[in-house]
Amino acid sequence: MNPDTMNPDKRFVRESMIPPAPPPRRISGPLARIRATLFPDLANGLVTLAILAALVWLVPAAFRFLVVEAVWTGASGEACRPEVVGHPVGACWAFIGDKINYLAYGSYPTAERWRPNLFFGLLAFGVAWMLWLGAPKRTWGAVYLFLVVPVLAYVLLAGAPALGLVSVATALWGGLLVTVVVSGVGIVAALPLGILLALGRRSDWPVVRILCIGFIEFWRGVPLITVLFMANVMLPLFLPGDLTVDRLVRPLVGIALFASAYMAEVVRGGLQAIPAGQRQAALALGLTPFQATRAVVLPQALKIVVPGIVNTLIGLFKDTTLVAIVGLADFVRVLEAARADPRWSAPAVPVTAYVFAALFYFAVCFGMARYAGFIERRLAAGAVR
Amino acid sequence: MPDPRTPLRWRALAVQALLILALAALAYLAASNAAQKLARQGIVAGFGFLGRPAGFDIGQSLIPYAAATATYLDAFLVGLLNTLLVSGLAIGIATGLGFAVGIARRAENPLLRAFAAAYVELFRNLPLLLQLLVWYVAVRVALPPASDPAALGQAAFLSQRGLFLPRPDFWGSAAAVPLAFGIGLAAVWLLVQARGRAVALGKKPGPVLSLSALLCLGLPALAWIGLALAGHPVPVAWPVRGPYDIEGGLAVRPEFAALLIGLSTYSAAFIAEIVRAGLDSVAQGQREAAAALSLSRAQALRLVVLPQAMRVIVPPLTSQYLNITKNSSLAVLIGYPDLVHVFMGTVLNQTNQAVEVVSLTMAVYLTLSLVTALVMNRYNARVAGSRA
């Protein structure tokens, strides 16, 4: 009880009428909605105006740069110089058009470029098979993507003289091809290895458990660049005799080990989400521990970690840009080399190169993120049902 | 049926023993191969090389470093300090920016929400390496050329070579200034403790924020003025325009600026998502109850929602901080002399001590991770305890 209400001196009794208040402001209709959400107070109003001003300035400027003032055709940097064409120049798309084959294949021999193309096609088919949830025989899709495609890709890209395919040295590979190969190998090696590590981390055998924890925490604790440096300088040291490792394979080994540690943690999250009763029920039905894991626990766990796997894949795809630091000609490095071409020296060229790279990576990563979100919502809906 | 446990246990032991043996054999094989090859290249294994003179210059250093006298160990320390400097600053900026964007994603203003969402999607979905390249080019284009720096009197210069500021030297008697700052920090810590007690007792706390600012800035300023009056002014190294470049003073290089901006804006997008998830984890009723108590939206956020959200925010935030530290190694790309650039780059090339250099560098990052994980576990235990 508030002591003030008991004190007669502090009691308050109103003795006159309160003057009538004005009618409330409109609270419905579009104008009122705009005021309530965009201009509720001074600070919010200022923020709204600032964002609107930025949009009014940015959107037309971006449109002018990307479309209106862009140069679409031309054979050299001359076409993209404002003093030559006589008007301000935006993006120099002619440069991208001229270099598109170099960006896609690097220095892969022109006559053999059907091989990377076929590889891209085979890969796209497998990826679509896996991503489309209603596709028939998705188990076979997994076998195709994780076993058939890697073998075919190796034969196709590196060449097999016995089959009439000329050998192509990996030093000639470049651009999109290297980016796709590095992230593809990363994911194909990391997923099975990650599953094994996640299972090992939950093993009853202390030696296996400690080894797996040590392995996972080691790779997660160091930056990818140091892993790539290590693969580059230390891997050849550890191998016997004069055995050398291909310049492309070294970073691949590093990336695969690195990605498998992150994948293991994603899979572990899924394993932990499966109630212990599932495993106990499977054992009670007479399944061996191995069968219980393979047929009951793992399928359920893998299903719920699909968004996590896709997110790891996004990270891996972005991280592949780091292989440029150890000398592989990935997409970004090839782009940097292309923009340094003296034939294409124009002020608009570097900007165009970066805008193009940004559009490319954004399209791929944003698309994958959208897919992960879609799966997540579907799983959430399934859990409610 | 025999006791099923006995044979299984033997099998488990046998398999594990075999595993250890196999790994040990593999390690021995790798080590002996490495030893053979190193011997053939005439490289002496061990960390003795750290004491040898380095003989190369480093563009930015927090400690005195001279190419003529420095050893490889000095180079290692310079790189390590540079890594810690850029990671620490990036962590601070990214946290501020990330919280702002994360809170903006749950703002009432739909335009602000969309803007924050666009920020997150844009920065999160582009490779950090690409962003650093762009920032590096952007920073250099935006700055005046080295031949014609922008100058603020004779005190500060700005050009493509960097920002040059006067550098006070806090050695000798001038150490009183940082000491005063330390005392100010300690006083702030006491103030915050007292505020917590006052709030717990239901009293109105004093103006902690303004008092803290006064203590942290006022005490060092007082020390500075006091030293000058006492006849021992703090020595200041002023930047001077030389014939080719600006010399002396404190140099903030464009590589550092680009790395700091790129790292902060990139990580802020991830922190914003963590903050948003934290805000979403607080039940809607908490906001409604705060509104019913007539707290403003800002007060409800600061006093009711955020403290509860922190439980969800802090664990992923810590791993994000570790990511910032690890991602600072991309410095090698634009030439900021961090640990990886100095040690795994230059020192490795000069000495060829691959095993030692790689393992020492990795050990640094692993130690940072391990220490963070330990601190994190203690924090988690405390938070989990307070929830019960």
**Rounded-to-integer distance, Cα A76 and Cα A62, Å:** 24
Cross-strand bridge partners of residue B236: B168
Cβ <8 Å between B366 and A221: yes
Terminal alpha carbon distance of chain B: 47
CA B339 to chain centre: 13
Region class of A21: left (phi > 0), else alpha (psi between -120 and 50), else beta: beta
The predicted model scores a pTM of 0.85
Q: How many degrees, rounded to 5, is the angle at CA B112 between CA B111 and CA B118?
A: 90
pLDDT in tens, A318-341: 999 999 888 888 999 999 899 888
Q: Is residue A97 part of a domain?
A: no
Query: Does any domain span residue A199?
Result: yes
Q: A316, A321, A376: best mutation site toward chain B, by most B Cβ within 10 Å? A: A321
DSSP class of residue B44 equals P
Q: Is residue B103 part of a domain?
A: yes
CA B186 to chain centre: 22
User: Is B12 in Cβ contact with A205 (below 8 Å)?
Assistant: yes
pLDDT of residue A383: 64
Indicate if the pLDDT at residue B382 is higher than 80.
Answer: no
Q: What percent of chain B has pLDDT over 70?
A: 96
Q: Tell me the C-alpha distance between A180 and A120, whole Å.
A: 9
**Would you say A223 and B327 are in contact if contact means Cβ atoms under 8 Å apart?**
yes
Based on the domain organization, do A159 and A197 belong to the same domain? no
Judge residue B259's burial from the number of C-beta atoms within 10 Å of its C-beta, 0-12 exposed, 13-18 middle, 19 or more buried.
buried
Per-residue confidence (pLDDT) for residue B385, from 0 to 100: 52
- Of the three residues A290, A311, A328, the one that is the final residue of a domain is A328
- Residue B28 counted as domain residue: no
pLDDT band at A227 (very low <50, low <70, confident <90, very high): very high
* Residue range A91-107: mean pLDDT, rounded: 88
Mutation target vs A (from B137, B297, B329; most A CBs, 10 A cutoff): B329
CA distance, residue B157 to nearest chain A CA (Å)? 27
Taking each helix axis as running N to C, give the angle between helix A249-273 and helix A306-319, from 0 to 180 degrees, rounded to the nearest 10.
Answer: 160
CATH number of the domain where residue B119 is located: 1.10.3720.10
C-alpha span between A123 and A108 (Å, rounded): 18
Residue B384, pLDDT above cutoff 70: no
Q: Nearest chain A Cα to B138, which residue?
A: A351
Closest CA–CA distance from residue A164 to any residue of chain B (Å): 37
Position A3 scores a pLDDT of 58
Listed residues A328, A352, A375: the one ending a domain? A328
Name which of B137, B103, B144, B102 is nearest B123 in CA terms. Answer: B102
Which of B349, B347, B358 is closest to B34 using CA atoms?
B358
Residues A132 and A208 in one domain: no
Q: Give the whole-angstrom CA distance, residue B107 versus residue B109.
A: 5
Query: Which residue segment(s) compose the domain that A279 sits in?
Result: 186-328
Residue A232 domain-assigned (yes or no):
yes
Our count of domains for chain A comes to: 2
Q: What is the DSSP letter of B46?
A: S
Do A255 and A311 share a domain, yes or no?
Answer: yes
CB-nearest to B16 from A205, A236, A319 is A205
Higher pLDDT among residues B349 and B388, named by residue: B349
* A146 and A260, same domain (yes or no): no
In a domain, A73, yes or no: no
Choose among A47, A229, A361: nearest Cβ to B344.
Answer: A229
Which pLDDT value is given to residue B116?
95
Q: Is the pLDDT of residue B305 over 70?
A: yes
Task: Using the predicted structure, report yes or no on whether residue A171 has a pLDDT greater than 80.
Answer: yes
ipTM exceeding 0.90, yes/no: no
Residue A185: CB atoms within 10 Å: 22
Total domains in chain B come to 1
Asked if residue A158 and residue A217 are part of one domain, the reply reads no
Same domain, A199 and A321: yes
Rg of chain A over all Cα atoms, to the nearest angstrom: 30
Which residues are bridge partners to B246 per DSSP?
B241
pLDDT, tens digit, for every residue of B235-281?
777 787 777 777 777 778 889 999 999 999 999 999 999 999 999 99
Task: Look over chain A and give the mean of its residue pLDDT values, rounded to a whole number.
Answer: 86
B380 within some domain: yes
B325 lies in some domain: yes
Residue A259 is predicted with a pLDDT of: 94
B151, B246 contact by CB (below 8 A):
no
pLDDT at A212 over 60: yes
Min Cα–Cα distance to chain A from B68, Å: 28
| Structural domain includes residue B84 | yes
Evaluate whether residue B302 is within a structural domain.
yes
Pick A232 or A382 by higher pLDDT. A232
Query: To the nearest whole angstrom, how far is the Cα of B366 from the nearest Cα of chain A?
Result: 5
Domain assignment present for B258: yes
Do residue A221 and residue B30 have CB atoms under 8 angstroms apart? no
Q: What is the structure's pLDDT at B386?
A: 52
Is the CB of A321 less than 8 angstroms away from the CB of B127?
A: yes
Residue pairs between chains A and B whose CB atoms are closer than 8 Å: 135
Question: Are residues A314 and A208 part of one domain?
Answer: yes
Q: Which helix (H) or strand (E) holds A333?
A: helix A331-339
Residue A282: per-residue pLDDT: 94
Q: How many CB atoms lie within 10 A of CB B231?
A: 7
pLDDT band at B388 (very low <50, low <70, confident <90, very high): very low
Shared domain check, A205 and A132: no
User: Is B9 contained in some domain?
Assistant: no
Are A314 and A193 part of one and the same domain? yes
Structural domain boundaries, residue B339: 72-140+253-384
Tell me how far CA of residue A240 lies from CA of A80, B31, B33, B355, in angstroms: 54, 10, 5, 16
Can you give the pLDDT at residue B2? 45
Look at residue B130 and tell me whether its pLDDT is greater than 90: yes
| Mean pLDDT across A124-137 | 83
Of A226, A325, A361, nearest to B365 by CB-CB distance is A226
Tell me, yes or no, whether A232 and A190 share the same domain.
Answer: yes
Residue A43 lies in a domain: no
pLDDT at A86: 79
Per-residue pLDDT at B387: 45
Token pair, residue B223, equals: 């020390």
- Give the highest mean pLDDT range of A102-116, A240-254, B55-69: A102-116
For residue B162, what are the β-bridge partners?
B159
User: DSSP secondary structure string, A101-114?
Assistant: HHHHHBT--GGGTH
Cα B356 to chain centroid distance, Å, stands at 25
How does pLDDT run across B200-246, given as a tens digit for each residue? 787 777 777 788 888 888 888 888 888 888 877 777 777 877 777 77
Same domain, A190 and A163: no
| Beta carbons of A322 and B330 less than 8 Å apart | yes
Query: What confidence tier does A71 reach under pLDDT thresholds 50, 70, 90?
Result: confident
Where does A69-167 have alpha helices with state H? 82-85, 93-105, 114-131, 138-143, 149-158
What residue of B is the nearest CA neighbor of A35? B109
Q: Is A10 exposed, middle or buried (0-12, 13-18, 19+ CB in 10 A)?
A: exposed
The single-letter DSSP state of residue B220 is: H
- 8 Å CB contact of A362 and B125: yes
What pLDDT is attached to residue A107?
86
Instruction: Give a yes or no: residue A62 inside a domain.
Output: no
In Å, how far are A65, A132, A210, A375 from A140, measured between CA atoms?
47, 13, 34, 21
Is the pLDDT at A307 greater than 90? The verdict is no
For residues A279 and A219, what is the distance between their CA atoms, to the nearest angstrom? 30
Mean residue pLDDT of chain B comes to 85
User: Do B354 and A324 make contact, defined as CB atoms within 8 angstroms?
Assistant: no
Interchain CB distance below 8 Å, B112 and A48:
yes
Answer yes or no: do A237 and B112 touch at CB < 8 A: no
Does some domain include residue A119?
yes
Q: Cβ of A207 and B16 within 8 Å?
A: yes
On chain B, the residues whose CB falls within 8 A of the CB of A319 are 127
B236 touches chain A (CB under 8 A): no
Cβ of residue B240 closer than 8 Å to a chain A Cβ: no
Cα(B362)–Cα(B204) distance, integer angstroms = 50
Q: Which of B266, B362, B370, B376 has the most A C-beta neighbours within 10 Å, making it the best mutation to test the interface with A?
A: B362
CB contact under 8 A, B109 and A37: yes
Chain A residue with the nearest C-alpha to that of B335: A325
B122 touches chain A (CB under 8 A): yes
Tell me which of A385 and B182 has the higher pLDDT. B182
Is residue A238 situated within a structural domain?
Answer: yes
Rg of chain B (C-alpha set): 27
Question: Residue length, chain B?
Answer: 388
- Hey, which residues 316-335 in chain B have their CB within 8 Å of chain A? 322, 326-327, 329-330, 332-333
Token pair listed for A108: 């892969």
Q: Which residue of A has its CA nearest to B364?
A: A222
Residues A116 and A205 in one domain: no
